[in-house]
């Protein structure tokens, strides 16, 4: 039988088995739990080389699983690789401008200044005047010679300066992609704020991400969440459309290399993201059908479980597709190809049905109620057309899910991948863009 390397005793060991039983001791040998039970049943695994930890009545939990963690993007958009322009590191537009100024002062002329994390709900100027939004002029004085690209906390909006707009060829005559927004001033010139697919216009001219940067970003992210007890997660979107390049197709090779070398200190599941936004069904099908990454050596540590589809935006930017107007106007839209709502909904349904028929779990970013109803309806139709047990399809975010869609999910076993931290972060703004009645429901 052999002895255990590590034994925990005298505690509350939460097993999360079918009965949610609680034991008092646990034994580990190598990378396996070999015994869970009472002190006597585990004690027989102890030997001269066993390290024994007395929990003294404390609780031992299994590792936490994060079902939606953009690990590559998280690590890549944080120091030392990127500027931290999120709260509490910065508290105002002036603070961000000063951070950009300091970065530009030490950068060669023309080099990109890139950061992430800003949130208008935590910027003094925007809190004092809700109509005040960040502009390119705020960044131009701080960085007149270096292009600046700052993702907001949702990564659905970018704030750029005039140099970045020129690099990307964005001007008064530039049309935004379907479902995207290029914010403009009274003269029709871009203000420097871009939503959804418009962000990709600038992201396309950013410096290419190297695999060394990907490795550094991933290892940094895993290290940070491991310290919080997260031992497994789903990376929700690796492929041609993956997080402005950092989670592009090469990210799978980085994951495989680190997992194979025993350097990936987490179990990672992956959703493939096979087409850029706004995607057509044909582009999605071609991308998915041609994506065949080499499998990992140990699927227990690294595994492709499904497909990610980006269906709409997010409520704070008024880009989630709603059945009722936002405060101030607009319904948002699906961010897939098509000239009308009906055409875009049909394209989205085809993507979902195709991915289901191919045997994948399907996770769809859907925030608005019209989007969610469309997605859940497509899930149900997929399962009826191509029956299979427990496909585990899920609505990602699901902010404004309707009672009807909620009931369908419960009846048919579809999941809703909620993000409570996002809810907490936007709570102070939600009434502003949804109005008091819907905000109360949210």
Task: Report pLDDT for 240.
Answer: 76
CATH at 50: 2.30.40.10
The residue among 203, 229, 258 that closes a domain is 203
Task: Report pLDDT for 187.
Answer: 95
**CA neighbours within 13 Å on the CB side: how many for 206?**
22
How many whole angstroms separate alpha carbon 334 and alpha carbon 34? Answer: 49
Task: Report pLDDT for 430.
Answer: 80
Domain count, the chain: 3
How many whole angstroms separate alpha carbon 302 and alpha carbon 304? Answer: 7
CA proximity to 268, closest of 212, 220, 230, 217: 230
185, two tokens: 């001033």
* Lowest-pLDDT range of 116-125, 135-144, 353-362: 116-125
**Sheet with strand 59-60: strands edge to edge:** 22-23, 12-14, 59-60
Q: For residue 36, is it within any domain?
A: yes
Q: Enter the DSSP assignment of 208.
A: P
When comparing pLDDT for 395 and 441, which is higher?
Answer: 395
Q: For residue 300, is it within any domain?
A: yes
Distance of CA 307 to CAs 79, 269, 287, 344, 364, Å?
30, 11, 11, 19, 8
Residue ranges with strand state E in 120-180: 148-152, 157-160
Range of the domain at 18: 6-62
- In this structure, the answer to whether residues 283 and 408 fall within a common structural domain is yes
- In this structure, the answer to whether residues 231 and 295 fall within a common structural domain is yes
CATH at 129: 3.10.310.70
Do strands 361-366 and 394-397 pair parallel, antiparallel, or not at all (unpaired)? parallel
How many whole angstroms separate alpha carbon 399 and alpha carbon 59? Answer: 33
* Lowest-pLDDT range of 77-86, 219-228, 347-356: 77-86
| pLDDT tens for each residue of 47-105 | 999 999 999 999 999 999 999 999 999 999 888 888 999 999 999 999 999 999 999 99
Please give, one letter per residue, the 3-state secondary structure of 17-35.
Answer: CCCCCEECEEEEECCEEEE
Q: Enter the DSSP assignment of 370.
A: H
- In this structure, the answer to whether residues 134 and 118 fall within a common structural domain is yes
As a whole number, mean pLDDT of residues 358-372 equals: 97
What average pLDDT does the chain have? Answer: 93
Q: For residue 14, is it within any domain?
A: yes
Structure confidence at residue 184 as a pLDDT band (50, 70, 90):
very high
- In this structure, the answer to whether residues 349 and 272 fall within a common structural domain is yes
The answer on pLDDT for 243 being more than 60 is no
The answer on pLDDT for 13 being more than 90 is yes
Percent helix, strand and coil across the chain, each rounded to 5? 35, 20, 45
Percent of the chain surpassing pLDDT 90: 79
Structure confidence at residue 7 as a pLDDT band (50, 70, 90):
very high
CATH at 435: 3.20.20.140
How many whole angstroms separate alpha carbon 283 and alpha carbon 301? Answer: 30
CA proximity to 35, closest of 2, 64, 58: 2
Task: Report pLDDT for 440.
Answer: 76
The residue among 155, 176, 203 that closes a domain is 203
As a whole number, mean pLDDT of residues 171-191 equals: 93
| pLDDT tens for each residue of 369-403 | 999 999 999 999 999 999 999 999 999 999 999 99
- In this structure, the answer to whether residues 222 and 121 fall within a common structural domain is no
Task: Report pLDDT for 433.
Answer: 82
- In this structure, the answer to whether residues 29 and 173 fall within a common structural domain is no
Partnered with residue 24 across adjacent β-strands are none
Task: Report pLDDT for 294.
Answer: 86
Distance of CA 195 to CAs 201, 202, 311, Å?
10, 11, 14
The answer on pLDDT for 182 being more than 60 is yes
- In this structure, the answer to whether residues 324 and 423 fall within a common structural domain is yes
- In this structure, the answer to whether residues 356 and 424 fall within a common structural domain is yes
Task: Report pLDDT for 79.
Answer: 86
- In this structure, the answer to whether residues 140 and 159 fall within a common structural domain is yes
Q: For residue 340, is it within any domain?
A: yes
The answer on pLDDT for 130 being more than 90 is no
| pLDDT tens for each residue of 134-180 | 999 999 999 999 999 999 988 889 999 999 999 999 999 999 988 78
The answer on pLDDT for 242 being more than 80 is no
Task: Report pLDDT for 437.
Answer: 81
- In this structure, the answer to whether residues 379 and 274 fall within a common structural domain is yes
Q: For residue 397, is it within any domain?
A: yes
Q: For residue 258, is it within any domain?
A: yes
- In this structure, the answer to whether residues 83 and 39 fall within a common structural domain is no
The answer on pLDDT for 291 being more than 60 is yes
Q: pTM for this structure?
A: 0.84
The answer on pLDDT for 241 being more than 70 is no
Q: For residue 1, is it within any domain?
A: no
As a whole number, mean pLDDT of residues 118-147 equals: 94
Q: For residue 415, is it within any domain?
A: yes
The residue among 203, 223, 246 that closes a domain is 203
- In this structure, the answer to whether residues 154 and 196 fall within a common structural domain is yes
Task: Enumerate residues 6+ apart whose C-beta is below 8 A from 162.
Answer: 136, 137, 140, 192
The answer on pLDDT for 412 being more than 60 is yes
Partnered with residue 366 across adjacent β-strands are 397
Task: Report pLDDT for 308.
Answer: 96
């Amino acid at each position: 039988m052999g002895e255990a390397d590590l034994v925990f005793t005298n505690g509350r060991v939460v097993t999360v088995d079918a009965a949610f039983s609680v034991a008092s001791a646990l034994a580990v040998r190598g990378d396996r739990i070999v015994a869970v039970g009472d002190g006597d049943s585990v004690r027989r695994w102890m030997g001269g080389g066993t390290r024994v930890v007395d929990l003294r009545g404390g609780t031992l939990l299994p590792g936490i699983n994060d079902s939606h963690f953009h690990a590559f993007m998280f690590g890549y958009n944080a120091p030392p690789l990127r500027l931290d322009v999120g709260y509490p590191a910065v508290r105002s537009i002036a603070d961000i401008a000063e951070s950009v100024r300091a970065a530009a002062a030490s950068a060669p002329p023309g080099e990109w200044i890139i950061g992430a994390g800003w949130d208008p709900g935590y910027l003094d100027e925007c809190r004092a005047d809700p109509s005040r939004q960040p502009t390119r002029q705020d960044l131009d004085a701080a960085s007149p010679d270096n292009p600046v690209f700052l993702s907001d906390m949702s990564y659905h909006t970018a704030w750029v300066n005039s140099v970045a707009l020129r690099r990307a060829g964005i001007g008064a005559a530039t049309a935004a992609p379907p479902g995207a927004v290029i914010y403009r001033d009274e003269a029709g010139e871009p203000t420097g704020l871009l939503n959804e697919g418009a962000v990709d216009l600038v992201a396309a001219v950013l410096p290419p991400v190297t695999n060394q940067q990907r490795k550094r970003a991933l290892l940094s992210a895993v290290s940070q969440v491991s310290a919080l007890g997260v031992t497994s997660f789903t990376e929700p979107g690796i492929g041609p459309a993956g997080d402005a390049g950092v989670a592009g197709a090469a990210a799978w090779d980085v994951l495989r290399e680190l997992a194979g070398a025993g350097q990936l200190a987490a179990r990672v599941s992956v959703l493939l993201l096979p087409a850029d936004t706004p995607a057509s069904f044909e582009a999605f099908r071609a991308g998915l059908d041609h994506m065949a990454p080499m499998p990992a050596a140990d699927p227990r540590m690294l595994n492709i479980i499904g497909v990610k589809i980006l269906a709409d935006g997010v409520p704070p930017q008024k880009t989630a597709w709603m059945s009722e107007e936002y405060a101030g106007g607009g319904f948002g839209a699906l961010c897939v190809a098509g000239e009308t709502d009906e055409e875009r909904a049909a394209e989205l349904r085809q993507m979902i049905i195709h991915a289901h028929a191919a045997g994948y779990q399907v996770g769809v970013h859907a925030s608005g109620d019209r989007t969610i109803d469309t997605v859940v309806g497509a899930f149900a139709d997929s399962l009826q057309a191509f029956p299979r047990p427990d496909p585990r399809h899920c609505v990602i975010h699901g902010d404004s899910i309707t009672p009807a869609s909620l009931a369908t999910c419960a009846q048919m076993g579809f999941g809703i991948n909620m993000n409570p931290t996002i809810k907490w972060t936007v709570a102070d703004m939600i009434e502003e863009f949804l109005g008091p009645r819907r905000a109360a429901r949210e």
